[in-house]
Structure 1
Amino acid sequence: MAQKNWLIDWVLTRLRGYPRPALEGMRLSPNRTSSENGLIVQFFTWDSKHPGMSWWQHFEAEVPRLAELGVTQVWLPPPNKAMTKMGQGYDAYDLWDLGEFDQKGTVATRWGTKEELSHAVGVARAHGIDVLIDAVLNHKIGADRTETFDVVPVDPQNRLRDLAPRREIEGWTAFDFPGRNGCHSAFKWSQEHFTGLDWDHKKRLKGVYRIVGGPHKGWSKFVDNELGNYDYLLGVDIDHRHPDVRQDLFTWGEWVLKTTGGAGFRLDAIKHIDRYFLLDFLKHVRKATGRDDLFAVAEYWSANVKLIKPYIYAFQGLVSFFDVPLHDNFYQASRAGPRYDLRTVLNNTLLKFRPGDAITFVDNHEQIGQSLESWVGVNFKLQAYAVILLRGEGHPCVFYGDLYPNEECYDPHVAGGLQLLIEARKKYAYGDRIDYPHSRNCIGFVRAGDAQHGGCAVLISNADPHQGAQGAAHKVRMNVGMDIGSTSFTSLFGAGSVDVSAEGWGTFTCPPGQVQVWVKSGSP
């Protein structure tokens, strides 16, 4: 299929107006008629490994607790066979092997077997939780043999700049999948299905090499323009314009959902993937599975919201996006401490620009020891979670590493507070919101509640309790509802109660550097 001109398509879409916000048309919970808040949990860290069972079995064992917390979707790690026995799956070897075939020295993946995955997903669905499949569609790693072909070395810092004339190299580009032996898919990959790679095995030289000759068309034009052209990321880069590649990946997308029981996708590294392929992929899977409300969230890693906007136009409401700019604001706030003006925390974020396209998060598996590291400090972790869980805009995603004990990033104070905030989201964070931007170091808001749920009053502080006047508790007068009558509100974090007048006014307090959530006394 002929590629469209990206610029012309973007301009025409702008003239037509933005598509409907993605979240409005997506399934956020198996129970479509539920009035409860939806919530995603990313159920893994980079080095996740359970000492006594497979990761899929661990997930299955935790399903009842997740359901009780109000979780409606779980994002699991890539289920495909990796290039090594303990690979996380982002080192994608064979998408069609979910832990079923003896390949790369193992039948099970790092996470478990295909049967364990399918059973766990079934248990999750029975408890009202959808599972999202992490789709690694940009590259392949761990080929079965080498091939000889022509390339042009390019500048790693500017992939549009050739460094040397065309020459022959030996590259790991042949994927035969002998352990699978054609089961599920007979397609075998060779150098003609890739655009580039980073290793010349013949000369033992690392670089960035654009494959040339034969049917090769060079880098895709419809990728991010970072480093001149960001088609190449790592491993051997897939050419998503090749018709056989497209057919195999389209079929895999349909198959993996039907096989596992998954309900949608997390799309990895989309700034490196041809945009029109991804759009066609989603359209195909929606049609083939009959899921017009298919959930999809894309990882476009940039703190610049302006760079995300064209993707919102291009994907026509079929994809939501992780709000990386908001995560970056949280990161900067944790580094700056009381110097950060909390009234600006939503500035230049997807949540402020298009909340109906925003998947909000505080941290994820990329944030510890990885190339994208920007870990939000524990001094601001609960404040950030209060923003995404209780304000009522966007669709929040909670990180396993912040909720469950682990060796990478666990903090018991954060985990305990986070569970309270998750429970507050389930029970109280409903209805209209009124913001109270009290000061640079304290902001608040009130959720009015609805017919089925009580509301809440929330205060967030980043003041330093050890520095002079900043050490005093914040006192903010907020209105929790004109028709509430004389009553009192109690803190979920053990800070006592506040009397509320018949007109709904009360003076709420928050210790410096903390979060307080207040609910009507006696609320369940």
Structure 2
Amino acid sequence: MQMSRTASLMLVDMDEFCAEAEAEESHLVELERERLNMQQRRVASAALLEEMAKITEYADPSHTVMLQGFNWESHKAGKGNWYGIVESKVDMLADVGITDIWLPPPSQSVAPQGYLPSQLFNLDASAYGKKAALKSLLKSLHAKGMRGVADIVINHRCGDKQDEQGRWNVFTSTGIESRKSFHGIMDWQGWAITLGDQFSDGTGERGPGHLDGKFDAAPDIDHGNKKVQSSIAIWLRWLRLDIGFDAWRFDFVKGYGAEYVGHYCKKSEPSWAVGELWLDMEYDHDGLKYNQDKHRQDTVNWINGTDKESTAFDFTTKGILQEAVRNTQYWRLKDSNGKPPGLLGWMPTHAVTFLDNHDTGSTQGHWPFPNDKVLVGYAYILTHPGIPCIFWDHICDWGEDMRNRIKALLQLRRRAGIKVDDKVQILCADHDLYIAEIGSPPALRVALGPKHSGVDGSWSPGTEGADYRVWIRASAAA
């Protein structure tokens, strides 16, 4: 079969491109060293678990609390300067106890929310604000000892132009003209898109994604292509070392292989990373099944597939927890082995727990946590192991009382020294009452549900609200 002109040129240029990419990465390594020396932001003195040691600059596990710093409508609310709105709240968020802020996709996008990116290096065409405003926000976060988490959308990419056949599979490097060494890095064509893609007739390998991971709204990227890998790795390092991001949130990871997330983490060395692996849970005629081990096993398999370079959002815990609080079925919060039933019960060091995000909640509301039980949900995830993530709406849009109650829970978590891998001893998981003690030895005690529970004199009152009560060990409270 005759080789196309595009494919032939790609083979000729590949060695030259890879050499340029290697030189650029060496340059970025030097920038990284300078940045680390300047900021002197090192890992806290707390000893890291063996499996956490793979994640460069992992935060002190007792302190990591992420905020999703936007919702589905933030591109409108910000009126072109959402970054400025977030920056104006940095002092307040630091006071509440937030350590990391997950920011929206920063690149130019066909859709204003940022999830249909095209020109990845173009940060001045984002509906959330200009590149200068983003860098100012990240600088303010760093001044408070906080970190910025970039939303990395690399399952798919929208073309800038049509080819001779009218297919949208011509991609450009717009936005990086100021860096000569970057010229052409993001100039892709059909070879960068998975084979047979319905929108662009891609010529790359067929996508290796997870289960139902095909994305129908835009051309799917062929991550098996070495030029694609080098391009994305350089872009990620640029986001870290030039723009100032610290960590990654990988969008729609069921669309491509977990090994590529691991590869990109190793190449770009974020402080940490988290993947959005949103899979369907198991239901029957009675509703959500009690046993969701397959669901969380799929997540564990994905994490292992990244070589444990990335954590994952704990969708298993979200699904079970919201069912438990909505229907007063607190028996769901203990699995058959007496442990928490979500990812945090099996792999807490890599479980990012949450109640809602811009997809499940906000104005989309695809799978919302019950509004009247949000504080019960936070009483669970903010007292338990794992890495908790708080939604913007709950802490910034729902009023001062809600914010103060979340802050009280976070203060107890820190005072008790709860770590990402702490032991959970479940004392009760009945229809209307859940009781657990967290820590080694136990430092927090939490009770959820309408039924009340007493404590002995070794516990001091912490905080409480409708259907939740938290105590702290008296010795820790002193």
Q: TM-score range by the shorter chain?
A: 0.7 to 0.9
Deviation at 1:394, TM superposition (A): 0.8
The structure with the largest strand share of the pair is 1
Query: Does the 8 Å contact 1:55/1:112 carry over to 2?
Result: yes
Q: Give CA deviations for 1:74-127 in whole Å, capped at 9, x if unaligned.
A: 11111111125xx1111111110111xxxxxxx4x2111111111111111111
Question: Aligned in 2, Cα 1:443/1:79: closer, same or farther, shift over 3 Å?
Answer: same
RMSD: 3.3
Q: Which amino acid aligns with 2:162?
A: T
Tell me how far apart the structure 1 counterparts of residues 260 and 438 of structure 2 sit (CA, whole Å): 41
1:344 to 328, 334, 341: 334
Q: Which residue of 2 aligns with 1:127?
A: 144
Q: Which amino acid aligns with 1:458?
A: V
Q: Which residue of 1 aligns with 2:108?
A: 81
Determine whether 1:276 maps to 2:259: yes
Deviation at 1:147, TM superposition (A): 2.1
Query: Does the 8 Å contact 2:443/2:476 carry over to 1?
Result: no
1:515 to 440, 443, 468: 468
Q: Which residue of 2 aligns with 1:59?
A: 86
Q: Which residue of 1 aligns with 2:461?
A: 490
Q: Which residue of 2 aligns with 1:156?
A: none
Query: Does the 8 Å contact 1:331/1:374 carry over to 2?
Result: no
Q: Which residue of 2 aligns with 1:328?
A: 319
SS of 2:104's partner is coil
Q: Which residue of 1 aligns with 2:428?
A: 437
Q: Give CA deviations for 1:240-290 in whole Å, capped at 9, x if unaligned.
A: 12232222111111111111211111111111023333222222213xxxx
Query: Does the 8 Å contact 1:144/1:172 carry over to 2?
Result: yes
Q: Which residue of 2 aligns with 1:171?
A: 167
Query: Does the 8 Å contact 2:314/2:342 carry over to 1?
Result: yes
Q: Which residue of 1 aligns with 2:372?
A: 379
SS of 1:457's partner is strand
2:228 to 236, 245, 249: 245
Deviation at 1:491, TM superposition (A): 4.8
TM-score when normalising by structure 2: 0.75
Tell me how far apart the structure 1 counterparts of residues 424 and 160 of structure 2 sit (CA, whole Å): 57
Query: Does the 8 Å contact 2:81/2:128 carry over to 1?
Result: yes
Tell me how far apart the structure 2 counterparts of residues 42 and 218 of structure 1 sit (CA, whole Å): 34
SS of 1:397's partner is strand
Tell me how far apart the structure 2 counterparts of residues 444 and 361 of structure 1 sit (CA, whole Å): 20
* Aligned counterparts, 1:128-207, within 5 A: 128-141=145-158, 143-148=159-164, 170-176=166-172, 183=179, 184-187=182-185, 188-195=187-194
Q: Which residue of 1 aligns with 2:51?
A: 21
Question: Aligned in 2, Cα 1:97/1:115: closer, same or farther, shift over 3 Å?
Answer: same
Kindly tell me the number of residue pairs found equivalent between the two proteins: 406
1:72 to 96, 99, 102: 99
Deviation at 1:129, TM superposition (A): 0.3
Deviation at 1:64, TM superposition (A): 1.3
Tell me how far apart the structure 1 counterparts of residues 356 and 221 of structure 2 sit (CA, whole Å): 28
Query: Does the 8 Å contact 2:192/2:222 carry over to 1?
Result: yes
Tell me how far apart the structure 2 counterparts of residues 449 and 22 of structure 1 sit (CA, whole Å): 19
SS of 1:82's partner is coil
Deviation at 1:432, TM superposition (A): 6.5
- Structure number, greater radius of gyration: 1
Question: Aligned in 2, Cα 1:238/1:91: closer, same or farther, shift over 3 Å?
Answer: same
Q: Which residue of 1 aligns with 2:45?
A: none
Tell me how far apart the structure 2 counterparts of residues 322 and 175 of structure 1 sit (CA, whole Å): 31
Query: Does the 8 Å contact 2:71/2:362 carry over to 1?
Result: no
Query: Does the 8 Å contact 2:121/2:174 carry over to 1?
Result: no
Tell me how far apart the structure 1 counterparts of residues 193 and 117 of structure 2 sit (CA, whole Å): 14
Determine whether 1:224 maps to 2:216: no
Percent of aligned pairs sharing the same letter? 21
Deviation at 1:297, TM superposition (A): 0.7
Query: Does the 8 Å contact 1:429/1:449 carry over to 2?
Result: no
Deviation at 1:44, TM superposition (A): 0.7
Tell me how far apart the structure 2 counterparts of residues 126 and 89 of structure 1 sit (CA, whole Å): 27
Determine whether 1:39 maps to 2:61: no
Unaligned runs of 5+ in 2: 1-13, 15-48, 282-294
Determine whether 1:112 maps to 2:129: yes
